[in-house]
Amino acid sequence: MSAAGELRPAVTAADYRLGTPTWCPGCGDYGVLRALQKAAAELQLVPEQTVVVGGIGCSGKLAYYFRAYAFHGVHGRALPLATGIKLANPRLTVLVAGGDGDGYGIGLGHLLHAMRRDVDLTYIVMDNHIYGLTKGQYSATSRKGFRTRSSPAGSTEEPVHPLELALAAGCGFVAQGFAGDPDQLSRILVSAIRHPGFALVNVLSPCVTFNHEDTYDHWQNALVNLGAADGVDPDGRPTWDRWGALQRVAAAQELVRGVIYQRPVDSQATPCAKAGQVAGDGRDSDLYPAQRPGRGLTLDEQEEYLARFAG
C-alpha cells in the first residue's frame, strides 16, 4: 500500500471526476464538489482508499461525482453508515456529504452522537436552508418566517444553529465554508480531513431554484471571513478556545466563514477514534484486512473461549 512507500503517480483534481452532475445550473454544490476535488488532490488521497458516503438529497449526490468508493445510503443515516465503514477499516479516508435536511433534520440525532463519538470522519453539510429535491419545503435551518410550499404563512420554528450546536456538543473541528469561495472551502476541507477525529464543515451552498433569499449575493455580503484555516482566529487567538468560538459565532449569528474551532491535534483522541484497529484478526498486514474475517481462531483457541462457559 501507499504507506509502504510504493510510488504512485501524483493524483490531480481531475482524477476525482466521474460522470456529469445533474444539479441545476448555478447550484452551490458544484463549488463544493470542485473544492473537495482540489482538497483531495492536495492531500494526495488515493481514490481506492477513499470512501464518500452520501446522504439523501441533491447534496448527497456528490458521492456520484467524486471518483472514489461510494455509498449512497438512506435518508438521514449517512453518519452511522460512515461510522461503520471507518471502524471496520480505519485505513480508509471516509468523507460524508449531505444537506441540511439529511444532517440537521431527519439525521440530527446521529450528528450529536457522531460528534461525541469522535470517529475520524469529515462531514460536509451543504446547507441551503431549503428542501430542494422535494421541490421547496422549509428546512431545519430555514429562518423563522421563511415562506415555502409547506410554510405558506412563514415558518414558525426556530432554526437549528449548526455551528453553536457543534461547539456545544464538543465537536473537535467546526468550520463553515461558502460555495461561492471554493478556494477557501478547499483549504478548510484540507484541514478538516487532516483533523484526526470528527470534523463538521457546514457549507452555505445556495439553492438557485427554490431559495431566492439565501443567495450567493446575500451570503457574499453577510458572511464575515475569519481568514485562513490555520488554527488561529483573526485576532491571532488559537481556535481551540471553544468558549470564545461559541461567543463569536453566536454574536455573528453564525454568519462567518473559516475554521471556527479546532481541538488541539492528538491531545484527546477518544478511544473510538484511536481504535486504529481493523476489524480483522489483526494477524496479517494485508491492505484489506477486514476481508479476512478472523477465521484465524484455531480450534484450541475456540475451546479456550468455550471453557469460560463450562459453568
Partner 1 sequence: MKELLWRIGGQSGEGIESSGEVLAGVLHRLGYYVYGFREFPSRIHGGHTHYTLRASPRTVRHPGDGVDILLALDQESIDRNWAEVNPDGYVLFDASRFAARFPDNKPVQAIGLPLTEIAKGLGEALLRNVAGIGATMALIGLPAAIVQPLLEKQWGRKGAVVVGRNVEALQQGWQALRQTWTGPRPSLPAVSPPVGQRYLLTGNQAVALGALFSGCRFLAAYPITPASEILHELATLLPPLGGVVVQAEDELAALNMAIGAGYAGARAMTSTSGPGFSLMMEALGLAGMAEVPVVLVDVQRAGPSTGMPTKLEQSDLYEAVYGSHGEIPRVVLAPATVEDAFYQTAEAFQLAETYQCPVILLSDAAIGQATQTVENLNLERLALSGQGEAALTPQAVLPSESARGERYPRYEETESGVSARPLPGQPGGIYLATGNEHDRFGRVTDAADNRVRQMKKRMSKLAHLSPPNWVSYTGPAAPDLVLVGWGAATGAITEARQALVDRGAAVGQLMIRGLHPFPRERVEQWLARAQHVVVVEHNYEGQLEHLLRSECRPELLSHLESFRQYNGRPFRVADILRQAETILSTVRLAPAAMAGGPSSLQDQELPAETDRVHPVRLEKRSTQ
Residues of this chain that interact with partner 1 (CB under 8 A) are 15, 17-19, 47-49, 51, 53, 63-64, 67-74, 76-77, 79-89, 91-92, 109-110, 112-113, 117, 272, 275, 277-282, 287-288, 290-291, 293-295, 297, 299, 302-303, 305-307, 309-311
Q: Which of 11, 245 has the CB closer to partner 1?
A: 11
Cα–Cα dist 91/288, whole Å: 9
Q: Which of 34, 110 has the CB closer to partner 1?
A: 110
Q: Which of 222, 279 has the CB closer to partner 1?
A: 279
For residue 291, the minimal CB distance to partner 1 (Å) is 4
For residue 211, CA distances in Å to 130, 268, 292 come to 7, 40, 49
- Closest of 218, 211, 140 to residue 180, by C-alpha: 218
Q: Which of 193, 259 has the CB closer to partner 1?
A: 193
For residue 288, the minimal CB distance to partner 1 (Å) is 5
For residue 58, the minimal CB distance to partner 1 (Å) is 13
Cα–Cα dist 253/274, whole Å: 34
For residue 278, the minimal CB distance to partner 1 (Å) is 6
Cα–Cα dist 171/262, whole Å: 8
For residue 182, the minimal CB distance to partner 1 (Å) is 22
Q: Which of 1, 250 has the CB closer to partner 1?
A: 1
Q: Which of 243, 309 has the CB closer to partner 1?
A: 309
For residue 10, the minimal CB distance to partner 1 (Å) is 13
For residue 282, CA distances in Å to 133, 218, 246, 311 come to 43, 53, 42, 30
Cα–Cα–Cα angle for 76, 80, 82, nearest 5°? Answer: 105
Name, in order, each residue with C-beta under 8 angstroms of 286's C-beta and a sequence gap of 6 or more.
Answer: 280, 292
Q: Which of 118, 254 has the CB closer to partner 1?
A: 118
- Closest of 245, 268, 97, 282 to residue 196, by C-alpha: 268
Buried b (16+ CB within 10 A) or exposed e, 185-215: bbbbbbbbbebbbbbbbbbbbbbbbbbeebb
Cα–Cα dist 80/73, whole Å: 10
For residue 211, the minimal CB distance to partner 1 (Å) is 24
Q: Is the backbone of residue 135 left (phi > 0), alpha (psi -120 to 50) or beta?
A: left
Contact 33, 62 (CB under 8 A): yes
For residue 9, the minimal CB distance to partner 1 (Å) is 10
Q: Which of 131, 219 has the CB closer to partner 1?
A: 131
